[in-house]
């Protein structure tokens, strides 16, 4: 390997990437351990029916079998994982509580299938109670969304196993959770936001603010008139205490909010004994999110830096080529293509959800495709890809071929060599090495700092053996989509006039906008009625809308990678393979597994 290529290993992008990844990881570790005063343990334990359960155990300094502490079981919502509860877990632990942030069954690193064994809540509570460092008479439950149902089921099965309950963005009497009464669950605070997308499902009120008037909620609070926000009902000593908090936010913001987390802290301090009196307003958890976001940015830079380094090595150097002279559409034709590129994914997305959600046919979770929601995204991607390819071929054969355009001009073939399988194979190998190194550094960060890369609902988690196998099952369909996307972006929609020499930054921005603008438009139109005091524009797409929030950072990353590597190689393959591997990994690692292996 030449000295020139070795010097590239220590380029500024590589240095910056490592600083962000390692510095962000260390910073996140210091925040979540409160400067080293909280011990965080990655725990595994056997639950019902031999199910292996996963969790993060937060143990404050000074807690021991001789000096027991109150405990709190914190459970995330659907298609989240134990790290999603970090805001609650960190702040509870800072106040002296031992916290078990549990992976529900089929989520994170807990065995599938999802929804099994009461979502895993019973096993989580039993495990927490079994710890000799936890006071079994001072245990609280906190669950967000489906985690609230898991907690409610645990509370019903083990009525003497807990003392207090924070139900966040959730409800009793839904999806297996027993109906609430004035005495069940014991000492319950309900945090239900004013713009919660699931108010109709949870409490029978399509308008979130109207839950106070529903008979279902009034029954839990033991009243016949509208429930008052912030008023204490019942008796903490008798276990019948009730309080409703209504922060002004949407459903997934509740686990990412100082107000909602402060509400939960206030309730636990009022209903559990032990711990300390650190005020609810004293919170630091969001610094951890900032640090893991910096590490996420570092990973994106790392993908570029490692790819650039490899392209300068002797083995991969032949992949470096300038893009062909521009023969993309222009003028009004470009704007028509841009509108189609931006808007096409939206109706296909609605169709995929309507067709494959809870589907019993090809969309049903299976051995090779075990994640129900990933199946929806996969069929969406294939649908968008097929339709985009049809439009592209019509444009090529009806218009662009007459101008002398060939597959070489679209980054598919090589000018004198045609389709070179050897170079395509090298492109795949380069992508594999790039993604492998990125994953290796994430595993190191997870081992050293017990953190992944995340911000709010978007997260990149390390793959275990099961999720690696699942990723392989979805890899081909998603890679096909990114190959077609590369043809469209760099063959048909390449911005600027022919030979205009548009800069890589400008081209990257244009491609990102082509990729994410449609989702931004959809989310605005989808949520405007809700923020106006009505329901979502498509109430049945509440979960699908929340998932679209993750598409914004995901396709921003895709836009950066696809533009950079096309400009470096003149072909679509390296970027398509990297995006296929990366996006499949991110989705497969973050979704729920519904198939019972």
Same domain for 268 and 410, yes or no, is: no
Q: Residue 353 forms beta bridges with which residues? A: none
pLDDT of residue 496: 72
List Cα–Cα distances, 61 to 194, 288, 410, in angstroms. 37, 19, 60
Mean pLDDT of the chain: 95
Specify if 428 maps to a domain: yes
Same domain for 395 and 414, yes or no, is: yes
Is the pLDDT assigned to residue 422 strictly greater than 80?
Answer: yes
Same domain for 234 and 294, yes or no, is: no
pLDDT of residue 536: 98
pLDDT tens, position by position, 190-249: 999 999 999 999 999 999 999 999 999 999 999 999 999 999 999 999 999 999 999 999
CATH number at residue 72: 3.40.50.1820
Specify if 436 maps to a domain: yes
CA–CA distance, 253 with 169 (Å, rounded to integer): 10
Specify if 16 maps to a domain: no
Which residue has tokens 């070795």? 6
pLDDT of residue 3: 39
Q: Among the three residues 283, 309, 342, which one is the final residue of a domain in this structure?
A: 283
Which DSSP state fits 295? H
Q: Among the three residues 283, 315, 350, which one is the final residue of a domain in this structure?
A: 283
Count up the domains in the chain and report the number: 2
Specify if 20 maps to a domain: no
Same domain for 179 and 220, yes or no, is: yes
Same domain for 306 and 454, yes or no, is: yes
pLDDT tens, position by position, 497-530: 655 567 899 999 999 999 999 999 999 999 999 9
Specify if 25 maps to a domain: no
Same domain for 186 and 241, yes or no, is: yes
Helix (H, G, I), strand (E, B) or coil at 96: coil
pLDDT of residue 497: 62
The boundaries of the domain holding residue 331 are 288-590
Same domain for 182 and 269, yes or no, is: yes
Same domain for 305 and 238, yes or no, is: no
pLDDT tens, position by position, 436-495: 999 999 999 999 999 999 999 999 999 999 999 999 999 999 999 999 999 999 999 998
pLDDT grade for 359, boundaries at 50, 70 and 90: confident
Q: Among the three residues 250, 283, 316, which one is the final residue of a domain in this structure?
A: 283
Is the pLDDT assigned to residue 572 strictly greater than 60?
Answer: yes
pLDDT of residue 499: 54
pLDDT tens, position by position, 174-204: 999 999 999 999 999 999 999 999 999 999 9
Specify if 17 maps to a domain: no
pLDDT of residue 498: 52
Same domain for 185 and 140, yes or no, is: yes
Specify if 329 maps to a domain: yes
pLDDT of residue 587: 98
Specify if 153 maps to a domain: yes
Helix (H, G, I), strand (E, B) or coil at 41: strand
pLDDT tens, position by position, 47-73: 999 999 999 999 999 999 999 999 999
Same domain for 293 and 279, yes or no, is: no
Sign of CA dihedral 409, 411, 416, 419: negative
Is the pLDDT assigned to residue 123 strictly greater than 60?
Answer: yes
Same domain for 297 and 246, yes or no, is: no
Sign of CA dihedral 352, 339, 586, 454: negative
Percent of the chain with pLDDT over 70: 97
Q: What is the pTM of this model?
A: 0.95
Same domain for 379 and 506, yes or no, is: yes
Least confident window among 137-151, 284-298, 399-413, 429-443: 399-413
pLDDT grade for 6, boundaries at 50, 70 and 90: very low
User: What is the average per-residue pLDDT within 268-297?
Assistant: 97
């Amino acid at each position: 390997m030449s000295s020139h290529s070795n010097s590239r290993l220590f380029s500024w992008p590589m240095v910056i990437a490592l600083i962000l990844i390692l510095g962000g990881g260390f910073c996140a570790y210091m925040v979540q351990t409160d400067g080293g005063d909280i011990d965080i343990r990655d725990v595994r334990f056997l639950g019902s029916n031999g199910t292996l359960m996963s969790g993060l155990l937060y143990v404050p300094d000074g807690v021991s079998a001789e000096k027991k502490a109150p405990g709190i079981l914190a459970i995330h919502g659907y298609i989240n994982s134990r790290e999603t509860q970090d805001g609650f877990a960190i702040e509870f632990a800072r106040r002296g509580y031992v916290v078990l942030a549990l992976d529900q069954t089929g989520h994170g690193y807990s065995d599938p299938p999802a929804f099994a064994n009461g979502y895993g809540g019973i096993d989580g509570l039993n495990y927490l109670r079994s710890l000799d460092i936890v006071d079994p008479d001072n245990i609280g439950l906190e669950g967000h969304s489906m985690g609230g149902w898991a907690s409610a089921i645990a509370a019903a099965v083990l009525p003497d196993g807990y003392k207090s309950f924070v139900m966040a963005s959730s409800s009793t009497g839904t999806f297996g959770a027993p109906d609430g009464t004035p005495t069940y669950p014991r000492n319950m605070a309900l945090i239900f936001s004013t713009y919660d997308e699931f108010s109709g499902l949870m409490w029978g009120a399509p308008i979130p603010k109207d839950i106070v008037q529903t008979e279902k909620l009034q029954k839990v609070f033991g009243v016949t008139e509208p429930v008052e926000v912030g008023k204490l009902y019942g008796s903490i000593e008798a276990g019948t205490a009730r309080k409703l908090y209504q922060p002004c936010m949407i459903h997934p913001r509740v686990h990412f909010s100082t107000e909602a987390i402060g509400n939960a802290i206030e309730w636990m301090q009022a209903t559990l004994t032990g711990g300390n009196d650190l005020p609810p307003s004293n919170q630091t958890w969001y610094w951890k999110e900032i640090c893991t976001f910096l590490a996420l940015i570092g990973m994106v830079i790392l993908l570029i830096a490692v790819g650039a380094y490899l392209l300068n090595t002797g083995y991969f150097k032949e992949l470096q080529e300038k893009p062909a002279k521009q023969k993309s559409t222009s003028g009004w034709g470009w704007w028509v293509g841009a509108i189609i590129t931006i808007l096409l994914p939206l109706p296909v997305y609605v169709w995929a959800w309507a067709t494959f959600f809870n589907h019993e046919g090809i969309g049903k979770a299976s051995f090779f495709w075990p994640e129900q929601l990933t199946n929806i995204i996969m069929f969406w991607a294939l649908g968008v890809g097929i339709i985009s390819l049809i439009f592209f071929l019509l444009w090529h054969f009806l218009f662009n071929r007459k101008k002398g355009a060939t597959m070489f001009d679209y980054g598919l073939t090589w000018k004198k060599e045609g389709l070179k399988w050897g170079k395509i194979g090298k492109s795949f190998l380069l992508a594999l090495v790039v993604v492998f190194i990125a994953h290796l550094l994430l595993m190191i960060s997870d081992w050293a700092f017990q953190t992944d890369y995340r911000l709010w609902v978007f997260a990149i988690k390390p793959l275990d053996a099961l999720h690696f196998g699942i990723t392989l099952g979805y890899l081909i369909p998603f890679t096909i989509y990114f190959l077609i996307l590369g043809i469209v972006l760099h063959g048909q929609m390449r911005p600027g006039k022919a030979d205009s020499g548009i800069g890589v930054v400008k081209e990257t921005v244009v491609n990102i906008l082509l990729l994410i603008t449609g989702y931004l438009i959809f989310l605005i139109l989808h949520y405007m009625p809700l923020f106006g005091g009505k329901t979502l524009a498509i109430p049945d797409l509440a979960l699908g809308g929340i998932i679209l929030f993750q598409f914004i950072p995901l396709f921003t990353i895709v836009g950066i990678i696809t533009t950079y590597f096309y400009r470096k190689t003149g072909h679509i393959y390296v970027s398509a393979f990297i995006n296929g591997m990366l996006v499949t990994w991110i989705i497969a690692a973050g979704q729920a597994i519904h198939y019972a292996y």
